[in-house]
Amino acid sequence: MEAIAEAPAWDSLPARAQKSVSSEAKEIEWFVFDQKFYRRERTGLTSQRLFSADAAELAPRREFLDRSEVTALVAHLTPGCKAPVVVDADDNYAIASSMPNAPVYRSVCGDVWYHIDGADGVALERLDSSRRAYRWLYSALHTMDIPALTSRPALRGALIVILCGFGVLFSLTGVVIGWRRLRLLRSTVS
């Protein structure tokens, strides 16, 4: 994680990079990714432009970080990391980006997986074998996003309603027990 968070001194940011801000920008964010400065201009809720301060001129290169930039960062993480791949929305370990339609890159480094946001370069999560097991033992049971159920939304919805119904019935047993206890206490006080 130090390789991701390590940043050059902000006073080394080129002066020309600080002056050329688009009039369409509603929000501007500077961030450092792989020891390079980037300016992210949010132009709407679902759109942005990404500028590299290291480029010869600050023309918009793209909307998100590309695979080659993430690959360069991953090379600094640990030896033996595989090239990053874009995580599909239907992946068993999918995670949402900070921007709609932005790619999330996964790099597998031995037993550890890194998910990096293509919108702003943030390391979203680090998954080792225990975190992946936790995802199945806790998260999948609470969200019912098991692949066999996500491919059948009607079955998943029905199962959730049935399990919630059992939860309500179980809660009612607690109300009945509490009501009986109060009646017993009231009769002993009288």
pLDDT tens, residue by residue, 83-100: 999 999 888 888 889 898
| The one-letter amino acid at 147 | P
Q: Answer whether residue 157 shows pLDDT above 80.
A: yes
- Residue 22 sits at the vertex; the CA angle it makes with 104 and 69, to the nearest 5 degrees, is 30
- pLDDT confidence of residue 145: 81
Q: Answer whether residue 137 shows pLDDT above 80.
A: yes
CA-wise closest residue to 35 among 64, 84, 72: 72
- pLDDT confidence of residue 64: 93
CA 144 to chain centre: 19
Instruction: Please report the DSSP string for 127-172 in residue order.
Output: E-HHHHHHIIIIIHHHH---HHHHT-HHHHHHHHHHHHHHHHHHHH
Q: Which of 30-39, 99-108, 114-123 has the lowest mean pLDDT?
A: 30-39
DSSP alpha helix (H) spans, 34-114: 67-77
Q: Answer whether residue 105 shows pLDDT above 90.
A: yes
CA-wise closest residue to 54 among 27, 76, 72, 42: 72
> What distances in angstroms separate CA 57 from CA 32, 39, 171, one per listed residue?
18, 13, 64
Q: Answer whether residue 56 shows pLDDT above 60.
A: no
Determine contact, residues 118/105, Cβ cutoff 8 Å: yes
